[in-house]
Amino acid sequence: MPKTQSPQDLLPLTPPVFHILLALADEERHGYGIMQDVARQTDDRLQLGPGTLYGCLKRMLAAQLVQESDERPDPALDDQRRRYYRMTALGQRVVRAEAQRLANAVVAARSKRLLDRGKPSLAGGKA
């Protein structure tokens, strides 16, 4: 029986992989939908091009973080060429572990007075 992979074995995630998993956390999406959600999540600070997106998805499929979905929306509303992706149970454990790792980093940065307390910001201000 193969050993179950620990989420910590896959950390840290790259920003594109982390945000792709976040995009899939609440629903299945096709590639363009993932790209749009990542841009929304990051206030357009991270815009995935097709090469980055599909390269990441290929590696994420191999690592069993995501899988292609067999379910399709209404064919009248969808293009059959689209591939839909969903997060696997392992992907969910990994994205939670990464979110916790990042939260711990924020706590450490606040303890060093590098961040304002209780004031989350996506602003790319100068240090």
pLDDT tens digits, residue range 82-114? Answer: 899 999 999 999 999 999 999 999 999 999 999
- Whether the pLDDT of residue 60 is over 50: the answer is yes
Beta bridge mates, 84: 30
Entry pTM: 0.84
Condensed to tens digits (0 to 9), the pLDDT of residues 14-38 reads 999 999 999 999 999 999 999 999 9
CATH number of 8-111: 1.10.10.10
Total Cβ atoms within 10 A of residue 73: 12
The pLDDT of residue 4 = 66
Q: Could you tell me if residue 64 is left (phi over 0), alpha (psi between -120 and 50 degrees) or otherwise beta?
A: left
Q: What share of the chain is helix, strand, coil (3-state, %, to 5)?
A: 50, 5, 45
CB burial of residue 56 (10 Å; 0-12, 13-18, 19+): buried
Q: What is the mean pLDDT of residues 49-78?
A: 87
Rg over CA atoms, the chain: 17
Tokens representing 116? 């304002």
The pLDDT of residue 113 = 94
Distance in angstroms (rounded) separating the CA atoms of residues 4 and 1: 9
